[in-house]
Amino acid sequence: MSAKECKAALPDGLLLAYYGDDFTGSTDAMEVMAASGLPTALFLQTPDAAMLQRFPDVRCIGIAGSSRGRSPEWMDVHLPGVFSRLAALKPPLMQYKICSTFDSSVQTGSIGRALDLGVGHMPGAWSPMIVGAPRLKRYQVFGNLFAAVDGAGYRLDRHPTMARHPVTPMSESDLRRHLATQTQRRVELIDMVQLRDGAALAGARIDKLQGTDTPVVLIDVLDEETLREAGRLAWEQRGAGVFSASSSGLQYALTAYWRSRGWIAQQTSLPTAGPVPVIAAVSGSCSPVTARQIAWARTHGFAAERLDLQAVLTAQTREVELARMVTLAVTAVDNGRSPLIYSAEGPDDTNVTGFDAIAREAGITRLDAARQVGMALADVMRCLLDTRPVTRVAIAGGDSSGEVAGALDIAALSVCAAMSPGAPLCRAWSDNPRRDGLEIVLKGGQVGGISFFGDVLEGKPLAAN
């Protein structure tokens, strides 16, 4: 099927519009659509008409946000306007893009509050929720979420990182129960057995579940078959338009279904990038996956340096510590080495285990402390890019990516090359000539192979974790 025939099989214009609750997840969702041959633009702020006109052929539009680390009260102020703007574009589906590890709590990153704020902006009588994404090694079975690390699968409440996350630790793997703490909205489930009973039966169940209360309907995803069927239900039962709080599992499911119908090309790929002399990297992740990547980078020529969090969170010493980091980074680049500034090396790092005590001594909350760490990494990256002609950067950690990318005067991102699943190489669009064309990779803490930072430097696609 030709590209022209593929395009004609789907409605003209936008197919999907989304707001991402963090920056890494936003680029993940963009990658899935772009790699399927569907042009996608990701904006770092709500775009105006002039900015949208710079991307006239897009089939998917995203807005990268920071709500994963925000309170419900913050969401009440900031999300309705964004949802209204996206709904005005009249997409068949509008998504609140969440992490595939369901990072959220009642106090921080409440998915339930986002759902309550979003469903009224679309006319649908149900809200599909697809979280599982096999390519990212995320699986939902009978409503429970699992993730694999180093080939071993874990229920989320027993996951080595998510069960110990410093901001949103996962204590419940049943997403119905977890979500019920965040919203009074009805939460239902289409499980894998019902999916495999056939599309007609699953569709009939959705017909029965729909109502004026717009229930959330979780859809199990275990493998490619259930992924495709989840996409079928979300697309065929969209009616005049639905709102969905989903991970990039929604993008994977939709494109799997469209591909099965021959509506988009069967084989797609992204170009690869070549090497650059150096990259600049920062990490705010406490994941053991990222810890191994930092250790690999250190032994392979990167100038890796750990932030002194006590100094960063103390007003009298903050600027001194930031100046130390900038000097180290600049010196590394001048010597042909890639700097890597990080806040922690795994969950057992004393910067993580002692984080609450450090925040208390600084007289700030845990959430404010986490945000200040991200801002420190952003300051280091911005100062380096303002003084040295670095053309490619890597940022690890979902919350950190938002703080860093948001501070770099970037208006939009588009995918330019393949990297790790969930972390493509992106091209920055900016009115600032120092930033326009900058290559940037934003990765979640658990994404990528052990040589992640080296492979970004070499510009070759990475293996999944």
The residue with tokens 């770092």 is: 44
pLDDT (0 to 100) of residue 324? 97
Integer angstrom CA distances of residue 423 from 89, 90, 118, 124, 351: 27, 28, 26, 31, 26
Average pLDDT, the chain: 92
pLDDT at 147 over 80: yes
pLDDT (0 to 100) of residue 462? 64
Tens digit of each residue's pLDDT (9 = 90 or more) over 361-390? 999 988 888 889 999 999 999 999 999 999
Question: Which of 74-83, 262-271, 315-324, 366-375 bottoms out in mean pLDDT, i.e. has the lowest?
Answer: 262-271
Compare 451 and 446 and report the one with higher pLDDT. 451
Residue 150: which pLDDT band, with cuts at 50, 70 and 90? Answer: confident
Residue 290: which pLDDT band, with cuts at 50, 70 and 90? Answer: very high
pLDDT at 418 over 90: no
The CA distance from 346 to 120, in Å, is 41
pLDDT at 7 over 50: no
pLDDT (0 to 100) of residue 1? 43
pLDDT at 46 over 90: no
pLDDT at 399 over 80: no
Compare 187 and 419 and report the one with higher pLDDT. 187
pLDDT at 123 over 60: yes
For the entire predicted model, the pTM comes to 0.85
Indicate left, alpha or beta for 64 from its phi (over 0: left) and psi (-120 to 50: alpha): beta
pLDDT at 197 over 90: no
Residue 50: which pLDDT band, with cuts at 50, 70 and 90? Answer: confident
The CA distance from 310 to 314, in Å, is 6
pLDDT (0 to 100) of residue 152? 87
